Amino acid sequence: EGTYEDWKKVAGFHYRSHRVAFIQKIFVLKRKDRVCGAIVYTSPTVNASGRSQVFQPKNMEELNEKLARIARVVVHPKYRTIGAGVKLVHDSLPLCGKPYVEMIAVMAR
């Protein structure tokens, strides 16, 4: 698990704002003591198109209890194209503590 300070070390390499609200967990990928990448899990937004087709919580409490959102995945440019982003997602999903995780992605493959 990582910290907000870890996230700030690589946040500037993300194409969107580095400000993230309602953080639940942060995980980092390190080489020795250097932060090479980070993934930020946040509370879900109130509405997301597509979510209602597969998940219909009774209230916001249930939504926050069962769902997390991947808000940012960022890898330092030096460590891109070697699967670091995939590793961050794959390795952190079982550790995020929620049965459901959503990701609304612009650049995902």
Q: Check: CB of residue 73 under 8 Å from CB of residue 91.
A: no
**What average pLDDT is seen over the chain?**
88
What the chain holds in terms of domains, given with CATH numbers, is: 4-102 (3.40.630.30)
Q: What is the pLDDT of residue 7?
A: 92
**Which spans in the chain are helix H?**
4-11, 51-54, 60-66, 84-92
CA dist list (Å): 81 to 1, 22, 40, 62, 76: 23, 29, 20, 37, 10
Give me the mean pLDDT over the 76-85 stretch.
Answer: 93
Q: What is the pLDDT of residue 95?
A: 97
Indicate the residue type of 68. A
Predicted confidence band at 107 (pLDDT cuts at 50, 70, 90)?
low
Indicate the residue type of 102. E
- % of the chain exceeding 90 in pLDDT: 61
pTM as predicted? 0.87
16-58, pLDDT tens digit by residue? Answer: 766 788 999 999 999 999 999 999 999 988 877 777 777 777 7
